[in-house]
Amino acid sequence: MPATARRQLSDLRGAGKLLFDATAGIVDVVERMHRTIERRPGVIGQPVVEATRGITGFVYRTVRGSTRLIGDGFDTVLSPLEQWSPPVASSPGRDVFVSILNGVYGDHLESTGNPLAIAMEIQSDGEPLVPSETYAHFASAGIDAPAGRLMVLVHGLCMSVQQWAHEGVDRAACLGRELGYTPLHLRYNSGLSIAENGRQFARLLEELVEHWPRPVEELVLVGHSMGGLVARSACHYGETQRHPWRRSLRSVVFLGTPHHGAPLERGGHGFDTLLGLSPYSAPFARLGNARSAGIKDLRAARLTDAGDGFVPLPEDVDCYAIAATLGSRRDLLAERLVGDGLVPLDSALGRHRDRERCLRFAKTHQWVTYRTGHLDLLHQPEVYAQLRGWLQPRDVARA
């Protein structure tokens, strides 16, 4: 069954699992708050961590156990029925919603085997492309030999493949075809850690290049927002694991990528820290901390499992950065604090106070667009005019 289709009961089963998991989590928070009020600690200090006791503790354990028992029963009943329900095509609206859900709770969905968890895949014209079946895929579409120049588009956090299109037009894919590339999209669970997605992406590119119907002459990656970090992580793992696809990589383009982190996630982390200062608010920090590993990785743009280790731009590759600002002109305060609404200008251009952590984009490989928001980068004609100049085939560019 293609990944763009779904079983009729899959969504119901997935929503049920998530609902029962959330209910159990809320019971834990309420019990922790109950115990805090019983103990009456000071306003500032260590949170109360032990469970309630006696009849109160028995009630909470019963509620928690009953919730899990009912949830397990619900899943047990639906699981065998799911495979017998007929597959139906997914809708763009559902795909967008599931992508948002995966961005926020994707690591939890993955670890609990929830059918709503997105499995990484390459898509061609909206259809899943299994690397080992590439030739058959294009042959069925009447294409004997797709171009040996590939452009892979990587979406951002909580986003989906559909959001590359605006008013029914996917400008990035159209640009790829215009320049002689075969445009492809990466669909992935943006709630997983950036490092995990980077490893998976590197392996998927290895399979794709290996099974492509003709030798791959050039590979270009275009990442928007978190997608740029996933692309950088994939380049890192592809290089350290000596994947042959790295030799085909010509260019990587970053659109509004938070190379040095995003203030919004730093703010979320800071808010959780503040909640943890008081035993009375600490239980609620657990709710905020439930956000996905992918979101937490945006705090410092963590690309590998090796902590905050600096990952430079890939060597022997043309790397380009497009940044946006909501301002109408150069304004230091707006660029640092606002940027495109989510990513400050310095972060999008790889600048850092520590010179050793700066990303070495050539001056001619940087471009800033004004009066532009983070999502506008996907659709603004001026952005694609800039990309057209950068990504022209080398023989055309020389002419």
* 218-272 confidence digits (pLDDT tens): 999 999 999 999 999 999 999 999 999 999 999 999 999 999 987 764 444 444 4
| pLDDT score, position 141 | 73
Mean pLDDT over each residue of the chain, to the nearest integer: 79
| pLDDT score, position 140 | 80
Q: Which region among 128-137, 155-164, 165-174, 284-293 has the lowest average model confidence (pLDDT)?
A: 284-293
Q: Is 91 helix (H, G, I), strand (E, B) or coil?
A: coil
- Evaluate if residue 122 carries a pLDDT over 80: yes
Average pLDDT over residues 330-356: 78
Helices (H), the chain: 10-39, 54-82, 92-111, 134-140, 171-178, 194-211, 226-240, 263-275, 282-288, 293-297, 332-337, 345-348, 381-391, 394-398
Distance from C-alpha of 190 to C-alpha of 106, rounded to nearest angstrom:
7
| pLDDT score, position 2 | 40
167: left (phi over 0), alpha (psi -120 to 50) or beta: left
Position 115 confidence tier, pLDDT thresholds 50, 70, 90: confident
User: What six digits make up the tokens of 49?
Assistant: 């961590």
For 193-219, write each residue's pLDDT tens digit. 999 999 999 999 999 999 999 999 999
- Evaluate if residue 277 carries a pLDDT over 50: no
Q: What does the radius of gyration of the chain's CA atoms come to, in whole angstroms?
A: 23
Phi, psi of 102 (to 5 degrees): -65, -35
- Evaluate if residue 44 carries a pLDDT over 70: no
- Evaluate if residue 118 carries a pLDDT over 90: yes
- Evaluate if residue 69 carries a pLDDT over 80: no
- Evaluate if residue 315 carries a pLDDT over 60: yes
